[in-house]
Amino acid sequence: MAVQAVESTSTSTVSLGPAAALSCRECGTRFPLGPIFACQECFGPLEVAYDLPSGGPSQAAALKKRIEAGPDNIWRYAPLLPVPADVADKPNLNPGFTKLVKADRLAAELGVTGGLYVKDDSGNPTHSFKDRVVAIAVEAARAFGFTTLSCSSTGNLAGAVGAAARRAGFRSCVFIPHDLEAGKVVMAAVYGGDLVGIEGNYDDVNRFCSELIGDPLGEGWGFVNVNLRPYYGEGSKTLAYEICEQLGWELPDQLVIPIASGSQLTKIDKGLKELIQLGLVEDKPYKIFGAQAEGCSPVSTAFKAGHDVVRPQKPNTIAKSLAIGNPADGPYVLDIARRTGGAVEDVNDEQVVDAIKLLARTEGIFAETAGGVTVGVTKKLIENGQIDPAKSLVVLNTGDGLKTLDAVAPTTGPTATIRPSLDSFREAGLG
Ligand SMILES: *Cc1c(COP(=O)(O)O)cnc(C)c1O
Ligand SMILES: [Zn+2]
């Protein structure tokens, strides 16, 4: 197995659609497509580089037509992703094309007049945005001949890998911090792959996985967010593509995106820039805002202090899916927030719970704690004047509230419990 993986690295015979090479985000050095994630020159992170069409008007029109005629999932954007052209015919969970909800009642509550939308990724196959990134990593794992799919997870990724591995015919073994929410643990275990709880936080789990990759025990293993990370990351671009297509091929003015490792935020920015470059949307300025929980806010702390370096924290928050104390893409998030004129902000656990309830009460969308972080930060940024309420705004809900019931259970329940009689109902005063 290891031999197969190494061979494909050195020969670069793999065919992943328009993906041309891996390129270092720090020094630009290029490497053949393979299961590597760090630059051999400077240890910088690698990302996928493409041969994309030039973006002339007729090419843009043809590409738009092709996308619109594609399947109702992320594979409609296959010409812009590191996947084989026949990807839609392979066994995969086919995530994406989730709802972009025009949130008028939430807008009224928050005073937004420029158009407020919630991109609701709880509608994915395992109920979080992670199905997008895993779907791309699965295709890379196939191409490189891996037989086991793995990951270090804050919860949602473990379920997404477990399910995708089953569908695609891989063995899976995923790693989580031992103290996750019951909904996340059950969801990660039910698909039948191996699930290992590690006594430690996410950063400990991630360190363990890095060690496993370097050990013979991990031979033939594709860790979707470690040695397949360059491919995995590209899945988040589909959020940018979908949002713009659903807005009628237009860029939103402002986006609020949750931050765990920061990968999603940086790749949404990459996706938006590609759409501009390809001529699929008209170029105009957009602002990207990042959202963290106060109990794990290394990026927002650095942003507010004006630092370029993100100092690691020990997480302590109910938003466990975002609880990465040492976020790999933190510095890139800072760059993007500053370049676009956005910001990074955080809210405390009480505000997270209030925001979950606000979104549920106004729009009928039940978000997990990460969604509460994003909505809560949106409210805060409107109140402090950093988000312009007269301009369009897209807020991401990246996960499903059913997986984090404990966050709201103590303050949510039946209005009354009555005997099955009209008298009893009358007494409760609810008629
Ligand atoms: C993983 C995750 C994110 C963001 O992850 P990044 O590491 O920043 O890409 C956001 N929301 C939910 C629900 C997640 O599970
Ligand atoms: Zn480099």
For residue 236, give the ligand 1 atom closest to its CA.
Answer: 9
101 - beta bridge partners?
118
CB of 162 sitting under 6 A from ligand 1 = no
- Model pLDDT for residues 365-400, shown as the tens digit of each residue: 999 999 999 999 999 999 999 999 999 999 999 999
| pLDDT higher than 70, residue 123 | yes
Please identify which residue in the block is written with the tokens 């050195």. 10
Q: How far apart are the CA of 270 and the centre of ligand 2, in A? A: 19
State the closest ligand 1 atom to the C-alpha of 260, by its place in the atom list counted from 1.
8
Structure tokens at 144: 């490189």
259 lines ligand 1 (CB under 6 A): yes
Question: Ligand 2 centre and the CA of 54: distance in Å?
Answer: 26
Ligand 1 within 6 A of CB of 398: yes
User: Token match 């809210």: residue?
Assistant: 347
Ligand 2 centroid, distance to 46 Cα (angstroms): 8
Q: Is the CB of 369 under 6 A from ligand 1?
A: no
Place of tokens 């299961």: 35
List phi, psi (to 5°) of 417.
-120, 125
Q: What structural domains and CATH numbers belong to the chain?
A: 2-90+130-232 (3.40.50.1100), 99-125+236-411 (3.40.50.1100)
CA distance 371 to 136: 23
This prediction has a pTM of 0.95
| Band of pLDDT at residue 55, cut at 50, 70 and 90 | confident
- pLDDT reported for residue 5: 39
pLDDT in tens, 157-187: 999 999 999 999 999 999 999 988 888 999 9
In angstroms, the CA 293 to CA 258 distance is 9
Residue 320 beta carbon below 6 angstroms from any ligand 1 atom: no
What integer pLDDT is reported at residue 8 of this predicted model? 39
Residue having the nearest C-alpha atom to atom 4 of ligand 1: 260
Mutation test of ligand 1: which of 161, 292, 297, 322 has the most ligand atoms closer than 8 Å to its C-beta? Answer: 322
pLDDT of the residue at 4: 39
Q: Can you tell me which atom of ligand 1 is nearest the CA of 156?
A: 15
Amino acid at residue number 312: P
Q: 399 CB less than 6 Å from ligand 1?
A: yes
Ligand 1 within 6 A of CB of 321: yes
For the CA of 155, the closest atom of ligand 1 is 15
Evaluate: CB of 260 within 6 angstroms of ligand 1: yes
Distance from the alpha carbon of residue 172 to the mean position of ligand 2, in angstroms: 31
Quote the tokens at residue 84.
């084989």
pLDDT at 181: 87
The answer to which of 52-61, 173-182, 187-196, 333-342 has the lowest mean pLDDT is: 52-61
**Which pLDDT tens digit goes with each residue over 232-250?**
999 999 999 999 999 999 9
pLDDT digits (tens, 9 = 90+) for 68-102: 999 999 999 999 999 999 999 999 999 999 999 99
What is the predicted pLDDT for the residue at 9?
44
The DSSP result for 375-416, as a single string, is HHHHHHHHHTTSS-TTS-EEEEE-BBGGGGHHHHGGG---S-
Confidence at 48, pLDDT banded by 50, 70, 90: very high
Ligand nearest to the CA of 320: 1
Q: What is the mean pLDDT of residues 190-205?
A: 94
Ligand 1 in reach of 376 Cβ (< 6 A): no
Q: Using alpha carbons only, what angle is made at residue 171 by residues 170 and 176, rounded to the nearest 5 degrees?
A: 120
Q: Given this model, what pLDDT does residue 10 score?
A: 43
For residues 37-65, average pLDDT = 92
Q: Would you place residue 12 in the very low, low, confident or very high pLDDT band (cuts 50, 70, 90)?
A: low
User: Which residue, by CA, sits nearest to atom 3 of ligand 1?
Assistant: 260
pLDDT reading at 104 higher than 80: yes
Pocket test residue of 326, 396, 398, 404 for ligand 1, highest count of atoms within 8 A of CB? 398
Distance between Cα 56 and ligand 1 center (Å): 35
pLDDT beyond 80 at 54: no
Q: What number of H helices and E strands is found in the chain? A: 16, 13
- The ligand 1 atom at the shortest distance from the C-alpha of residue 233 is 9
Q: What percent of the chain has pLDDT over 70?
A: 97
Question: What number is the average pLDDT over the span 323-342?
Answer: 97
Residue with tokens 């989730």: 98
